[in-house]
Amino acid sequence: MTLLFCSSSDNANVWRAEIAKRLPGLEMRVWPDVGDPADIRMALVWKPPAGMLASLPNLSLIVSLGAGVEPLLEDPTLPDVPLVRMVSDGLTLDMAGYIAFQVLRWHRQMDDYAALQAQARWEPLDHGPASAVTVGILGLGELGTAAARTLRTMDYRVLGWSRSPKQVEGVESFSGPDGLAAMLAQTNTLVCLLPLTPDTQGILNAALFAALPAGAVVVNAARGRHLVEADLLAALDSGHLRGASLDVTVTEPLPPEHPFWRHPKIRITPHVAAVTHPSLSAAQVAEAVRAFRAGEPLPNLVDRKRGY
């Protein structure tokens, strides 16, 4: 059984070495050196060229190097074979750390201190306790739950919104449109960790911002298309929102002329909130391959109808 690796943003040699440690003897080819396409039974991919997977006649398993699978599901030629997504400690810890950092950055006014330092001004600013800050998380799945737990250890009040109600210790769970409205009304820092689906695209829009209390902050670490960018600019410029941290944007890389780069209330990172570290994630790939070969149920299988 041959595995085809295809990603322009992951190091194939590092992955080869990590996979060889766990699956000795497994042949791995690296796209575009496919050899005979009929040999390929499994593919390990991040954003493969549209139609590439459909060109492999015996493909029986797709493993996504990313947690979010909309780049695959949006390819109309995607073969109808099991699709496993990435769920690993590396991604989860990365994301929990990124969200904690962004919540602290706005709560503890770190950008204001950077501006004061630039003027050599030693000027303590008021900040309330973490318990006085309510963080609302859109998406209480693998990443949202990990972020919620980390924030709880720091004493932030944490609310979470998901399709189905959840039980996470110390976290109030909301679902449905009424639940969303109830959560937003109490949220000082809104974090988006939803998958991108037809239901969630554009969810960060003018109506949602208006439902947040004045002075709220938005953190988007999910996908750029969750956000209506013009609506964010309007909500920041009107003074309703205090700031935004964006790890993802509609167009990536963010074009140099985009207004987000120079906006005083926006902080940008280049889609690095959580990364699939080979050393921490190869075990999950190996487990998917093992289960596939053994004919056992596959871990972290994507529900294509649901879209995540």
Chain residues that interact with ligand NAP, rule: CB under 6 A: 67-68, 91, 139-144, 161-164, 193-197, 199-200, 221-223, 247-248, 271, 273-274, 308
Q: What is the nearest approach in angstroms of ligand GLV to the Cβ of residue 15?
A: 15
95 and 143 in contact (C-beta within 8 Å)? yes
Instruction: Choose the one of ligand NAP, ligand GLV, none that binds residue 196, judging by a C-beta under 5 to 8 angstroms depending on kind.
Output: ligand NAP
Catalytic residue from among 29, 41, 105, 223: 223
- Is 41 or 166 the residue whose CB approaches ligand NAP more closely? 166
Quick one: which of 68, 82, 90, 136 contacts ligand GLV (CB under 6 A)? 68
Q: Give me 210's structure tokens.
A: 């208006």
Instruction: For residue 115, give both structure tokens.
Output: 């501006």
Q: How far apart are CA 179 and CA 211, in angstroms?
A: 12
Minimum Å gap between C-beta 258 and ligand NAP is 18
Give the nearest distance from C-beta 64 to ligand NAP in angstroms.
10
Residues facing 138 on adjacent strands: 161, 192
Burial label for 305, CB within 10 Å (0-12, 13-18, 19+), is exposed
Q: Is 48 in the site for ligand GLV (CB under 6 A)?
A: no
Query: Could you confirm whether 223 is annotated as catalytic?
Result: yes
Among 23, 52, 56, 67, binds ligand GLV (CB under 6 A): 67
Taking the complex as a whole, how short is the minimal distance between the CB of residue 143 and ligand NAP, in angstroms?
3
Tokens for 3, please give them. Answer: 């595995």
What is the rounded distance in angstroms from the CA atom of residue 91 to the CA atom of residue 6? 19
Which residues neighbour 140 within 8 Å (Cβ) at sequence distance 6 or greater?
A: 148, 160, 161, 162, 166, 168, 171, 173
Cβ of residue 206: shortest distance to ligand GLV, in angstroms? 25
The pair of structure tokens assigned to 297 is 């149920």
Interaction of residue 224 with ligand GLV, rule CB under 6 A:
no
66 scored as a contact of ligand GLV (CB under 6 A): yes
144 binds, among ligand NAP, ligand GLV, none (CB under 5 to 8 A by kind): ligand NAP
Q: Tell me which of ligand NAP, ligand GLV, none is bound by residue 246, counting a contact when its beta carbon lies within the kind-specific cut-off of 5 to 8 angstroms.
A: none
- Is the CB of residue 126 less than 8 Å from the CB of residue 150? no
Backbone angles phi, psi at 220, to 5 degrees: -110, 110
Determine contact, residues 157/187, Cβ cutoff 8 Å. Answer: no
User: Which single residue is written with the structure tokens 């709220």?
Assistant: 216
Q: How many CB atoms lie within 10 A of CB 118?
A: 8
Instruction: Restricting to residues 181-210, name those near ligand GLV by CB under 6 A.
Output: none
Residue 107 appears among annotated catalytic residues = no
Catalytic residues: 223, 271
Residue numbers at the binding site for ligand GLV (CB under 6 A): 66-68, 86, 276
